[in-house]
Chain A
Amino acid sequence: MSVEFFLFLLVAAVAVVAALGLLLSRNAIYAAMFLILNMASVAVIYLLLNAPFIAAVQVAVYAGAIMVLFVFVIMLLGAEKLNPADTKLALKWQRPLSIVLGMALFLLLGAVILTRLGGAVAAKMIDTSPLAIGKALFTTYLLPFEVVSVLLLAAVVGAVVLTKKS
């Protein structure tokens, strides 16, 4: 039992509890705050996996940019109430069915993980500095990098077109 293991257990518990809080909170702003807590603890999990660059990007892009966008839209639309009283699910069995399916998926994944996982191969780790990742992105993965830039451009144009008043 190492220090890292206890840190991992703590952070994993915070991540799962924050995810449950996201489900149980009645107010969308609280749900967004729980999601930010979840993302921060996931960033610590990335640090434990020796990926400091990805952890920094997680905090800056996810917990920073994307969640600011979420909170902005929630406040702009005044959509804080998550379960308005006038809302009735058209399908009565939808919510219990979602719980059953979610639990079934978790049990199935857990069983597969615990029974089918082979032994890990210990190999030498590459350099995980931003410099090394940047070199990999601009040499080996240049084509996906360019494709993803087109995707981002399409997303920007799509967002502008969708929100424009016609």
Chain B
Amino acid sequence: MLNGIPLYWYLIVAAAMFCIGLYGALARTNAIAVLMGVELMLNAVNINLLAFWRYLTPESPAGLAFAAFVFIVAAAEAAVGLALIISVYRNMNSIDPEKLDLMKL
């Protein structure tokens, strides 16, 4: 209990956000929306990371440092993912993941 908020509340909010992001990444028909679902999942993971840091090991800076690393990796992922989407749009004139089946046997 910290500020009267038990740890599991944070974990449940993060779990809900992760599952919504998972559905977005699995079922959308727009590659940009799929990437937004992945960003939502990364955010949920970061909430978990900071909640566990604050409640279980607040004496070490590891949680804060790794939360910062997650931000950097998310920025790199967004940059490369959006570049891929632009490149796909140039070649196929569509960003519907259903239509990207060039590697299908």
Contact = CB atoms under 8 A, between A and B. Distances in A.
Given A49-B50, A101-B22, A148 B4 contact: no
B5 A102 contact: no
B58 to A, nearest CB: 4
Interface of A: 1-2, 4-5, 8, 12, 15-16, 19-20, 22-23, 28, 31-32, 35, 38-39, 42, 45-46, 48-51, 53-54, 57-58, 61-62, 65-66, 69-70, 73-74, 76-77, 79, 81-84, 87-90, 94-95, 98-99, 101-103, 105-106, 109-110, 113-114, 117, 120-121, 123-126, 128, 132-133, 136-137, 140-141, 144, 148, 151-152, 154-156, 158-160, 162-163, 165
Contacts of A38: 17, 40, 43
B75 A51 contact: no
Nearest to A141: B65
A26 to B, nearest CB: 11
B17 A19 contact: yes
Given A23-B23, A23-B24, 13 more contacts: A16-B13, A31-B33, A48-B3, A48-B5, A51-B64, A51-B67, A54-B64, A66-B75, A73-B82, A113-B11, A120-B55, A120-B56, A159-B83
Interface of B: 1-5, 7-13, 15-24, 26-30, 32-33, 35-37, 39-40, 43, 46-47, 50-51, 53-62, 64-65, 67-69, 71-80, 82-87, 89-90, 95-96, 98
A99 B27 CA distance: 9
Contacts of B65: 133, 136-137, 140-141, 144
Nearest to A61: B71
Given A4-B5, A51-B50, A61-B75, A102 B85 contact: no
A128 B62 CA distance: 11
Nearest to A66: B78
A105 B17 CA distance: 11
Contacts of B51: 49
